Amino acid sequence: MSTTVITGIGELATNDPARSDEGGLLGLVHDAAVVVEGSRVAWVGPAADAPAADVQVDAGGRAVIPGFVDSHSHLVFAGDRSAEFEARMTGQPYTAGGIRTTVARTRAATDEQLTSHVARLVAEMRAQGTTSVEIKSGYGLSVHDEARSLAVARQFTEDTTFLGAHVVPVEFQGGTTPEDYVDLVTGPMLAAAAPHARWIDVFCEEGAFDVDQARAILAAGSDSGLRGRLHANQLTYGGGVQLACELGLVAVDHCTFLSDLDVESLRDSRTIATLLPGVEFSTRQPYPDARRLLDAGVRVALASDCNPGSCFTSSMALCIALAVREMRMTPAEALHGATAMGAAALARDDVGVLAPGMVADLVLLDAPSYVHLAYRPGVPLVAGVWQAGRPVVPG
């Protein structure tokens, strides 16, 4: 197996505090090297001690971080909602209803069109340092269209999420009731989706699905072998976060409107609060209070929520900059949230940390420190990406 040593790393963020003399969340090592063997990290430490390898890459004093783990995205869709964005920026509020516009476009697209669109977005993410991504369905909302959305997503990641319970589609409004749609989601749609999915998710929100419906959908998913996650407390206060904690879900996402009881429930659980600050940026809503969560001892991840309606960014660096500037996370907490905690939010123990045996997903920054991710917002700082040991963006 071929080995590569990346040496001359001015600052290496390992997310492994035991690896660092300096302590701290990120396990920083200065004047460091990483040896990659095949798809895995073989060695991490001071450059002066690095073993020889077949190929040597000189980082020239720049920083290396783990690849971003984006644990929340909606990449399978067709069309664009820039007109809705423009209207919102002109003063109209964001509601869950705009999702139905994308549903119509997605249903009309061919499998090939959906696949090439996801491929373009995944490449866009990779070029910005994202090496692991979760992809949800949720713009098909029929048995056929949810199953094929997940089959498309599966070509790009194992972390596919069935989100048939995104909104009640338009054909279920009027004559039938939302409960009829829940029956479809938990019955034939789940059966068709489950072979292509690892996770099940529900948009638990006013205008989408209530707590009782979410509970029933997550239970049905669990019976089909899917692990649960939840969109909750994005637009309003509600019972979604407490449901996620009660059920011991791996992650509950958004967490913008939280009562004291919600924060206590998160603190007393292992459930990760995944914050999606690109959404608040793109919908001009108040940001979640990350500081309140972190100070309470809640585990916090950051993700993009890349989707055509409420947040069409694929940039984890932007999410980090927003988390630092607008949500009072430290630069270290934000990077940790976008890497190690993103991995934890997907129950992945093979990515998000740079230590021997882990998947060799690394990003070389054109900067001396990871702090530049927040310090230089909007600047493309990714100078190289290795995904499973393979250079996918030339360093």
Catalog residues that contact Zn ion under the rule CB under 5 A: 305
The smaller minimum CB distance to Zn ion, of residues 11 and 253, is found at 253
Other CB atoms within a 10 A radius of the CB of residue 8 amount to 17
Q: How far is the CB of 274 from Zn ion (least distance, A)?
A: 9
The smaller minimum CB distance to Zn ion, of residues 309 and 384, is found at 309
Q: How many CA atoms lie within 13 A of 119 on its CB side?
A: 8
Q: How far is the CB of 305 from Zn ion (least distance, A)?
A: 5
The smaller minimum CB distance to Zn ion, of residues 145 and 305, is found at 305
Measured CA to CA in angstroms, residue 216 lies from 213, 247, 326 at distances of: 5, 12, 36
CB-based contact 202:214 (threshold 8 Å):
yes
Contacts of 283 (CB under 8 A, 6+ apart): 88, 94, 310, 311
The smaller minimum CB distance to Zn ion, of residues 11 and 305, is found at 305
Alpha helices in the chain (DSSP H): 82-89, 99-108, 111-127, 143-154, 178-184, 190-193, 211-223, 240-247, 260-267, 277-283, 290-295, 316-327, 331-338, 340-345, 372-375
Tokens 């972390």 correspond to 159
Shortest-Cβ-distance residue relative to Zn ion: 305
Q: Which of 65, 34, 27 is nearest to 49 (CA)?
A: 34
Q: How far is the CB of 124 from Zn ion (least distance, A)?
A: 18
The smaller minimum CB distance to Zn ion, of residues 146 and 305, is found at 305
Measured CA to CA in angstroms, residue 310 lies from 97, 232, 284, 358 at distances of: 11, 15, 10, 34
CB-based contact 12:29 (threshold 8 Å):
yes
* Beta-strand pair 40-46/300-302: unpaired
Q: What is the CA radius of gyration of the chain?
A: 21
180-189, long-range: CB < 8 A, 24+ apart: 182/209, 182/213, 182/216, 182/217, 184/143, 185/217, 185/220, 186/216, 186/217, 186/220, 187/220, 188/143, 189/142, 189/143, 189/146, 189/147, 189/164
The smaller minimum CB distance to Zn ion, of residues 16 and 305, is found at 305
Q: How far is the CB of 94 from Zn ion (least distance, A)?
A: 13
Q: How far is the CB of 282 from Zn ion (least distance, A)?
A: 12
The smaller minimum CB distance to Zn ion, of residues 167 and 363, is found at 167
Q: How far is the CB of 303 from Zn ion (least distance, A)?
A: 9
Give the span between the Cα atoms of 20 and 9, in whole angstroms.
Answer: 14
The smaller minimum CB distance to Zn ion, of residues 15 and 314, is found at 314
Q: How far is the CB of 345 from Zn ion (least distance, A)?
A: 13
The smaller minimum CB distance to Zn ion, of residues 279 and 294, is found at 279
Q: How far is the CB of 77 from Zn ion (least distance, A)?
A: 12
The smaller minimum CB distance to Zn ion, of residues 205 and 305, is found at 305
Instruction: Give the H or E element holding residue 393.
Output: strand 390-393
Q: How far is the CB of 141 from Zn ion (least distance, A)?
A: 15
Give the span between the Cα atoms of 348 and 148, in whole angstroms.
Answer: 25
Q: How far is the CB of 231 from Zn ion (least distance, A)?
A: 5
* Beta-strand pair 40-46/28-37: antiparallel
